[in-house]
């Protein structure tokens, strides 16, 4: 069988397959929360801590997978990561207590982060500027199908088997498919561009960490993603618990929000040369902030319901997807070397901040969760506004 090269139509699809593993690992698992809680004798909100542990592992994996791939190449690293992921996912399904599940989710996150960081490192190996933004948008359009189908798959599996382990069986099969693709995709990092030793990667970290525009954009990517991740990690409990929508409507409502994210990236793909302007990013973040304020007001007046919640999250998800792609493209365009290391830094910071959002809301239950979620989303959106203002000031200074 031929290798999948950058000229192949399958190239962005395979990169999306790699990058889609984390949303699949999160969203396929969400409908199983009540079964896990019942099986291990813990509350539904306690199960949310496994989202936080997963993303902590995911963040640390992001920190070193990209850097190691700058030394050994993209292909070898994604093969190794895929093997570890398959083993950890199998062990998740055999967890005999909640603590073991938390630990295995940590390792699962640590290993499946390889797909996301390598996918975008490969993209940066091949392109830059508007072409990079176009490819990133293409990847994101495809990978955003994952959050739509994942809760549907999770719901079908849990309803058919009445076990939470079935979701991990599915994720194991997906890991095997990813491993096969890892063997087929071309190596995009040429030997002349590789670091001669791991120790020589350390200066690259310091160079990136002391790049002010890169770092401001990196932290902003985390604060804006935290607003989305609060929705991702709490939506199952809010829809199924507080709004009692049932599994079918939960999947429909959640899917609509994912469609908003796909449409946002479709706009970027169609108009990649125009939306490079930062003013579009500012408009998008402003809409996110306004949607959070509206949600807080309606919740405080008890005027909210499942439809209203979905409408607000539709606006939020679409604009987070739009702004996240632009922020990532802006951040990585500030870098001219060691792209794997840069991706590691971006994704480590991004996902650690997102994990903090999930951790904060894990303390809230039932109606309190509905009220607290948009408040925390607003705080993260406001932080993004401040960071983007910092980028604006720097751009004026150096222009």
Burial of 149 (C-beta count, 10 Å sphere; 0-12/13-18/19+): middle
DSSP 362: T
Q: Is residue 33 part of a domain?
A: yes
Output the CA–CA distances (angstroms, integers) from residue 246 to 40, 236, 242, 249, 306, in the order listed: 23, 10, 11, 6, 11
Q: Is residue 149 part of a domain?
A: yes
pLDDT (tens digit, 9 = 90+) per residue, 60-87?
Answer: 887 778 778 877 888 888 899 999 999 9
Residue 4 bridge partners (DSSP): 185
User: CA-based Rg of the chain, rounded to a whole angstrom?
Assistant: 20
Q: Is residue 1 part of a domain?
A: no
Q: Is residue 196 part of a domain?
A: no
Q: Please give the full DSSP string across 289-348, using - where no structure is assigned.
A: HHHHHHHHHHHHTT---HHHHHHHHHHHHHHHHHHHHHHHHHHHHT--S-HHHHHHHHHH
Q: What is the CATH number of the domain that holds 131?
A: 1.20.1250.20
Q: Is residue 191 part of a domain?
A: no
* Of the listed ranges 159-168, 206-215, 326-335, the one predicted with least confidence: 326-335
pLDDT number for residue 201: 66
pLDDT (tens digit, 9 = 90+) per residue, 354-377?
Answer: 878 877 887 888 788 889 899 999
Q: Is residue 113 part of a domain?
A: yes
Q: Is residue 118 part of a domain?
A: yes
* Of the listed ranges 171-180, 190-199, 292-301, the one predicted with least confidence: 190-199
Number of domains the chain contains: 1
pLDDT number for residue 165: 92
Q: Is residue 282 part of a domain?
A: yes
**Percent of the chain topping pLDDT 90:** 21
Residue 185 bridge partners (DSSP): 4
Give 52-118 as a 3 state SS string. Answer: HHHHHHHHHHHHHHHHHHHHHCHHHHHHHHHHHHHHHHHHHHCCCCHHHHHHHHHHHHHHHHHHHHH
Range of the domain at 91: 12-186+201-398
């Amino acid at each position: 069988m031929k290798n999948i090269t950058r000229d192949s139509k399958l190239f962005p699809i395979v990169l999306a397959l790699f990058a889609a593993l984390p949303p699949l690992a999160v969203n396929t698992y969400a409908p199983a929360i009540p079964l896990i809680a019942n099986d291990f004798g813990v509350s539904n909100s306690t199960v949310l801590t496994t989202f936080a542990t997963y993303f902590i592992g995911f963040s640390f994996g992001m920190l070193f997978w990209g850097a190691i791939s700058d030394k050994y190449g993209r292909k070898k690293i994604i093969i190794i990561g895929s093997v570890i992921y398959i083993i950890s996912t199998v062990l998740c399904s055999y967890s005999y207590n909640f603590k073991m599940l938390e630990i295995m989710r940590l390792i699962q996150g640590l290993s499946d982060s390889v797909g996301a960081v390598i996918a975008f490192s490969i993209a940066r190996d091949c392109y830059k500027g508007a072409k990079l933004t176009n490819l990133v948008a293409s990847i994101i359009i495809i990978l955003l199908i994952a959050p739509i189908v994942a809760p549907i798959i999770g719901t079908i599996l849990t309803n058919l088997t009445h076990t939470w382990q079935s979701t991990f069986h599915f994720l194991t099969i997906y890991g095997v498919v990813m491993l096969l693709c890892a063997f087929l995709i071309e190596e995009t990092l040429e030997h002349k561009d590789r670091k001669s030793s791991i120790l020589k990667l350390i200066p690259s970290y310091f160079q990136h960490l002391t790049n002010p525009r890169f770092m401001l954009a990196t932290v902003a990517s985390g604060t804006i993603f935290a607003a989305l991740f609060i929705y991702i990690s709490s939506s199952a409990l809010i829809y199924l618990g507080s709004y009692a929508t049932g599994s079918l409507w939960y999947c429909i409502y959640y899917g609509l929000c994912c469609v908003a994210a796909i449409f946002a990236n479709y706009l970027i793909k169609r108009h990649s040369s125009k939306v490079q302007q930062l003013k579009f990013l500012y408009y998008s973040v402003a809409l996110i902030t306004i949607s959070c304020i509206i949600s807080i007001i309606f919740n405080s007046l008890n005027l909210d319901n499942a439809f209203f919640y979905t409408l607000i999250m539709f606006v939020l998800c679409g604009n987070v997807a739009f702004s996240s792609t632009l922020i990532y493209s802006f951040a990585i365009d500030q870098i001219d070397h060691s792209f794997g290391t840069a991706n590691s830094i971006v994704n480590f910071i991004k996902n650690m901040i997102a994990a903090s959002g999930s951790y904060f809301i894990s303390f809230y239950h039932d109606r309190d969760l509905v009220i607290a979620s948009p408040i925390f989303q607003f705080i993260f959106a406001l932080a993004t506004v401040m960071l983007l203002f910092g980028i604006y000031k720097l751009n004026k200074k150096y222009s």
